[in-house]
Structure 1
């Protein structure tokens, strides 16, 4: 079994999503001896945002591409290959301004490749990566979960459900710590609750 661990917080050691994603990986490694883990840190080593040159490069002769674009194409292929090879993907995804970080969005943009993670048919798009399990370590400063006063402006978790669902993935789970900016007591309770949920994660 292969696990891809992706962090996208820019807060370093102070990040709640990093703490939770690490806990998820540790729990799964205990539950699945021999688990092969690949780690990508989008906070410290971000994937560049898509460019027009990148999108046009598929129809260009390799020799005509400048070295920087060739390097970007190689990175894009590596990112996609890591994702496609993984049986489980654990993502540390903090909420920034009601949505995901731009670093995480740039990574996802490298995954949305027709013929690889989805394809278009006469009946509409079909996902091609449905054999994966996604676990998202979600952190939010306020309360945005269903039924809350701010639920309508949550564009973080709904987006992740939609995009990975578009890739055909149905096994998507969120381990959430929210309200972490609402005082120390609330932060502690929320993180402790997420950790208890992590302790219950199983191999399948």
Structure 2
């Protein structure tokens, strides 16, 4: 029987399952389940009979909208016999996409690092997290935008732990998705600001 490691990913809004090799020492693949379905998945537990339980953590804020009373719950995942008449009412773990287009690296990075505050639609939360739509910093000077992301400011944390390539991808994605203007950002742009500051 194949063994897995299951990890809740609050920022990525999904359950990660990593199939282990025969020795149980390595995982080369990651499967994502329940993406953007229940919000932030905080904890996962697998019982000896194979039933998996996961707990959500949305009451502080829900990345898919505003926190609601029933946002936090414990969910049970188990195999369902297809012959049971209610089987068609059970939510499938792997949600079929309604588009043939693959999610871009930029969208994945944005979901993992930005969407919990700025929301998937970039509108943020009034009075708490600024909107990215037509934002002066996002649309403005490239160096200023990069410095904000590298060093943070006030409640905005530093994202300097991300490598130059990933930073260039996510910042270019933000500009393309939410700004009406602003040039694409390159790895060299990021590297230059790291060296200068």
- Taking structure 1 as the reference length, the TM-score comes to 0.24
If each structure's strand is expressed as a fraction of its own residues, which one has the higher value? 1
Q: Which has the higher contact order (CA 8 A, sep 6+)?
A: 1
Q: Which has the larger radius of gyration?
A: 2
If each structure's helix is expressed as a fraction of its own residues, which one has the higher value? 1
- Taking structure 2 as the reference length, the TM-score comes to 0.24
